[in-house]
Structure 1
């Protein structure tokens, strides 16, 4: 569970977000973070036991921001195509606007220590999407929700490379998930 963010902890996390945006996650040495935060190196260890726990907390903070923006966008909408579209667009727009997105998406794909964090976030987003897919008529909806989350993450990565929205990819994902087909799941 994340610790409450006091001013020192918040300054360290803000510094990390800034450095990740400018130079990538690899630039997040303890010295660089504390220098950017205007703090002594020893103060880092008052808030984080090591660099890895700091990286996990940065990742968590980043995804908390995305989650908040997306949930605000869909608040009050009933499950279905419109909520799915609104949430998808809000997520992608937030990824384009949120500092550090490219660094954190790339890191999440390659950093094995973040696997648990990534799996938790993907499961949370898939649960939200699953309700929409069930309302649309997908059965079973869970595997499609998992794929929808993966597609959204990849579209986000593509948009970051393009430095703007990829309307063709957004439309393709929405067209795919908005039209249910019969899925035959082999017995196990």
Structure 2
């Protein structure tokens, strides 16, 4: 059974982000992680039963950090277009600034161990923005929210590969989100 969070577990997770930045999720082996953390392999297994649970923990931590940035940006705001714009901008800015974005946004889509996690995070963010879309007049706000989550994730990837914000994509995404439904 894994131990609760402590400095060793945190060091292993930090090392995993470094390894994922260099080699992607496919190169994220237990040996690479413990080498980067400067720890014995046995220490890894005291905190995580296997590589899968470790990768899931990394993915969760990454998205919890993103969610914290978004929630801080929209704290106290009522649902509506301004909250939606600010939340999306906070997400995109955080993706550009956060280590591990490429591994956790692009590569997690093909990592079979993370498919359930990706789906759950997409649902979480869709639930967050559905009230904004309802205010904007979208009848099936939950369905539209899932599409917007996908659109914004694609924008984040385009920005990642450009290594800079893509104002034209952000403007197009905002225009689509705020378009009055027919």
TM-score range, shorter chain: over 0.9
TM-score (norm 1): 0.93
CA contact (8 A) 2:108 2:114 kept: yes
CA contact (8 A) 2:138 2:181 kept: yes
SS in 2 for 1:33: helix
SS in 2 for 1:137: coil
What pairs up with 1:15-164 in 2 under 5 angstroms? 15-164=15-164
TM-score (norm 2): 0.96
Aligned length: 181
CA offsets per residue over residues 26-77 of structure 1, 9 Å max, x none? 2211111111111101111001111111111101110011011011100011
Aligned equivalents of 1:133, 1:7: Cα separation in 2: 41
For residue 4 of structure 1, report the CA deviation from its aligned partner: 3.7
SS in 2 for 1:151: helix
**Structure 1, gaps ≥5 residues long:** 183-188
SS in 1 for 2:66: helix
State the partner residue of 1:185.
none
CA offsets per residue over residues 86-121 of structure 1, 9 Å max, x none? 000000000000000011112221112211111111
For residue 3 of structure 1, report the CA deviation from its aligned partner: 6.6
State the partner residue of 1:186.
none
Aligned equivalents of 1:107, 1:59: Cα separation in 2: 11
Aligned equivalents of 2:133, 2:3: Cα separation in 1: 35
**Structure 2, gaps ≥5 residues long:** none
CA contact (8 A) 2:96 2:159 kept: yes
| Cα-Cα RMSD | 1.2
For residue 181 of structure 1, report the CA deviation from its aligned partner: 1.3
Aligned equivalents of 1:4, 1:178: Cα separation in 2: 43
State the partner residue of 1:173.
173
